[in-house]
Structure 1
Amino acid sequence: MIEREQWCEGCGVTLQTENPEEQGYVPASALEREHIICRRCYRIRHYNELAPVEQDPSATLRLLEQIAQADALVVQVIDLFDISGSWIPGIHRHIGNNPLLILGNKVDLFPKSIKHQRLKEWVQGAAKDLGVKPVDVVLTSAAKGTRIDVVAEAIEKFRDGRDVFVIGTANAGKSTFINRLLKEFGDEGEEAVTTSPYPGTTLDAISIPLGDGKHIIDMPGVVRKDRMSEWVDPKELKQITPDGEIKPKVYQLSEGQTLFFGGLARIDFVEGKRQSFICYLANGLYIHRTKLEKATEIWERHRGELLSPPKNPDSLPKMVRHSFVINATMKEDIVISGLGWISVGSEKAKVDVWAPEGVRVELRSAVI
């Protein structure tokens, strides 16, 4: 048996040596090491092994409740590629009176022509709509290290000698961000926190000491089931997760045409003048255009083969329809949470979007 205070430095889970099939397992011999990580983290780091982890969303939210009782700076990491899907619902209730710094991550995914100030103002507007008043919004790419010095300065300024809680939804990039901070400003060595493309990698709070006796605490990601990323098989997740600058794909569609996004979703142009549908999705995701009158037949015949991911369509919930009216008074984005968005609005239109039941599909003012 091992003591409670021994926990995995990679994901924060309590270590145990009894059951290899349970979370937190380590061989007894591993307890002699200076830095201990569980078998799951070891396999992720050394073999790129991915596996879904059953998590209790309510347990994660209960962990967040301690933040309101602390005197600390709260850094919320949001995924700029999926802003609505990476907000923590009711964030103001969890942080109490503590200051909130919003970190807009994955700015490197946007075309270089997009002004950072425009993105920042867009995030500020989204926060205002949700009743959140951050002390500041800073844009960065944790993976690339973009503007990480600006982020560090903002944290030091607003923490004012206090602890720092880093929070966010699963897969927003919290752990990647902390590792980037340690790489730039800490001791060199192996990454402190395990990261992977699959949501739910961090299982418990991880506390990392700062130089003044305070700590930066990486909290487990809040799981949201309304994003496509939570439903895709781990082996297929990279196909829908952008890893570099998005190359928009422009389709000139006429009324009665359909676009398939792999076998994950589809958009039907039901009514309107010929116009552009600009797709902002992972560059490697297969997009197939066809006639609406043939769409159902093609979907049923080729989903899981030509139309993939997913290879196994039965792994997803049933498809449901979301209908939108485009008024063409301004450019708008049709957002499929966890997958990307389609920019529309040059002409009036009626559009149907099909996505797995429970996945958020919404219309917003255009970000680009």
Structure 2
Amino acid sequence: MTDEEIQTALAEGIHCIGCGALIQTTEKGALGFTPMSALKKGLEAEEVYCQRCFRLRHYNEIQPVSLTDDDFRRLLGQIADTDSLIVYVVDIFDFTGSLIPGLHRFVGSNPVLLVGNKADIMPSSLKRTKLTDWMRQQANINGIRPVDVTLVSANKAHGIDTLLAKIDKYRKGRDVYVVGVTNVGKSTLINEIIKSKTGIRDLITTSRFPGTTLDKIEIPFDDNSNMIDTPGIIHQDQMAHYLSAKELKFVSPQKEVKPAIYQLNEGQTLFLAGLARFDFVQGERNSFIGYFENNLMIHRTKLENADAFYAKHVGELLAPPTSDEVTEFPELQRHEFRTTVKSDIIFNGLGWVTVPANVTVAGWAPKGVSVMVRAAMV
């Protein structure tokens, strides 16, 4: 088959026979992507799979892809019409950035099982029951009433058996839809679930869907029901959205986060690399405890000099972001808090600072990224 014939076929529209997504060869990581070499082989064999379906079919491996807001709303509309269990995966370290806007309006009467991923990176001193209680409260505030909350570590394969037991308990023979925004580890989690179900072969449904983009993959649970993986929605409020893959390695914890204690006087500032800033505005000298990626560079300076210090050093001494990314990095936005009890100031996707009662502090984060306060968890 010639390159001209392939381009003609692409222009006319080719659909993956596994999930129905429209095949494309330009945007790696987007729906329907397949390398040109694989597309040529598929067309010659009259069996074209997107790379995501190919990896699952041959290697039992889910690859992450993302949807636009409009595509995701359409997909959620399909889920609302089903009788199913919704498994909602969030990143514990970035709960607000993990929220799917408007999910509660699409769930209908379907039960939601809330799954907090990356539990292994949370401090061992943090009680898991306190964490799940907080997750449930935050879900309730956002209109979601989960039937249960469970913690897992997809990377370490911890909590998978407990998760599967809860899925079986609440699905009651129904299909299971797994939903989540990008960067929460949903695909890694699904891969662990697949591994735990030994003997599964030909996981992709082989029905053809001409002219239809389903944007999902069905994985058989039993003869009558499936686990359905949905692509992740891109959440613009995630810290990860503003960083390159290389920079994320310096920001996203890979091991258990260790507390770092800072003795601060009123009028001192901590820069969290070039990504965020913590100001001690008013109060007596006290201890502040930071919970961030263990190698994240923290710089202390005087509050009165903080603006000039940031303008001079962001992208160099204060990195990430690197100098190449600074021109596109959003400006930091200030959020002020007055505590009455020991509290955590949370920089979503980055970590938190535990502060004492009766102080005034401010947290700065890229515009759109949430900074919030909660009662101290540790």
TM-score by length of 2: 0.82
Moved more, 59-68 or 19-28: 19-28
Shift of 1:116: 2.1
Q: 1:349 aligns with which of 359, 371, 378?
A: 359
Residues 187 and 143 of structure 1: is their aligned pair in 2 closer, same or farther, counting only changes over 3 Å? farther
Which shows bigger deviation, 259-268 or 108-117? 108-117
Aligned counterpart, 1:364: 374
Q: Partner residue of 2:278?
A: 267
Aligned length: 342
The answer to whether 1:326 aligns with 2:326 is: no
Q: CA deviation at 1:352?
A: 2.3
Which residue identity does 1:117 align to in structure 2? T
Q: What are the equivalent positions in structure 2 for 1:1-12 lying under 5 Å apart?
A: 1=9, 3-7=14-18
Q: What SS does the corresponding residue of 1:239 show, helix, strand or coil?
A: coil
Residue aligning to 1:15: 23
Any idea what the Cα deviations from partners look like across 1:119-160, whole Å, max 9, x if unmatched?
A: 222222223333322221111111111121111111111111
Corresponding residue of 1:99: 111
Q: What does the per-residue CA deviation read over 1:23-44, in whole Å, with 9 as the maximum and x for residues that have no partner?
A: 52332344259995539998xx
The 5-angstrom pairing of residues 214-293 of structure 1 reads 214-293=225-304
Question: In structure 1, what is the equivalent of residue 6 of structure 2?
Answer: none
In structure 2, what is the equivalent of residue 60 of structure 1?
A: 72
How far the C-alpha of 1:297 sits from its partner, in A, is: 2.5
Amino acid at match of 2:313: H
From the superposition, tell whether residues 21 and 100 of structure 1 become closer, same or farther in structure 2 (CA, over 3 Å).
Answer: closer
Structure 1 unaligned blocks of 5 or more: 43-51, 193-202
The equivalent position to 1:317 in structure 2, one of 324, 330, 348, is 330
The answer for the alignment partner of 2:312 in structure 1 is 301
Q: Within 1, Cα distance between the matches of 2:282 and 2:147? A: 44
Look up the equivalent residue of 1:93 and give its one-letter code: R
State the SS of the aligned residue for 1:317.
Answer: coil
Q: Is the 8 A contact 1:273 1:348 kept in 2?
A: no
Alignment partner, residue 204 of structure 1: 215
Equivalent residue number for residue 48 of structure 1: none
Distance in 1 (CA, whole Å) between partners of 2:141 and 2:281 is: 31
Q: Find the counterpart in structure 2 of residue 25 from structure 1.
A: 34
**What does 1:119-198 align with in structure 2 at a 5 Å threshold?**
119-187=131-199
* Aligned mates of 1:155, 1:302 — CA distance in 2: 49
Distance 1:246 1:78 in 2: 18
When residues 35 and 147 of structure 1 are mapped into structure 2, their CA distance, relative to the original with a 3 A threshold, is farther
Q: Which amino acid aligns with 2:130?
A: R
The verdict on how the C-alpha distance between 1:164 and 1:337 changes in structure 2, with shifts beyond 3 A counting, is same
Shift of residue 104, structure 1, vs aligned partner: 1.5
Contact 1:140–1:147 under 8 Å retained in 2: yes
In structure 2, C-alpha distance between the alignment counterparts of 1:350 and 1:300, rounded to whole Å: 24
Deviation at 1:59, TM superposition (A): 1.8
| 354 and 111 in structure 1: CA distance in 2 versus 1, 3 angstrom threshold | closer
Offset of residue 279 of structure 1: 1.3
Q: Which amino acid aligns with 2:34?
A: Y
Rounded Cα–Cα distance in structure 1 between residues aligned with 2:65 and 2:327 = 19
Q: Which moved more, 1:110-119 or 1:74-83?
A: 110-119
Contact 1:6 1:15 in 2 (8 A): no
Root-mean-square deviation (Å): 3.0
> Partners in 1 of 2:352 and 2:97 — Cα distance?
12
Distance change >3 Å, CA 280–CA 304, structure 1 → 2: same
The aligned residue for residue 200 of structure 1 is none
The SS at the match of 1:175 is: helix
Q: Which ranges in structure 2 are unaligned for 5 or more consecutive residues?
A: 1-8, 56-63, 205-213
The verdict on how the C-alpha distance between 1:92 and 1:296 changes in structure 2, with shifts beyond 3 A counting, is closer
22-31 or 115-124: bigger deviation? 22-31
User: 1:168 deviation in Å?
Assistant: 1.4
Separation in 1, partners of 2:375, 2:17: 48
Evaluate the alpha carbon distance shift between residue 347 and residue 73 of structure 1 in structure 2; reply closer, same or farther with a 3 A threshold.
closer
Partner in structure 2 of residue 75 of structure 1: 87
Q: Structure 1 residues 158, 111: CA separation in 2 closer, same or farther (over 3 Å shift)?
A: same
Structure 1 residue 175: deviation in Å? Answer: 1.0
| C-alpha distance in structure 2 between counterparts of 1:33 and 1:240, whole Å | 44
Larger Rg: 2
- C-alpha displacement of 1:366: 2.3
SS across alignment from 1:354: strand
Paired residue type of 1:317: P
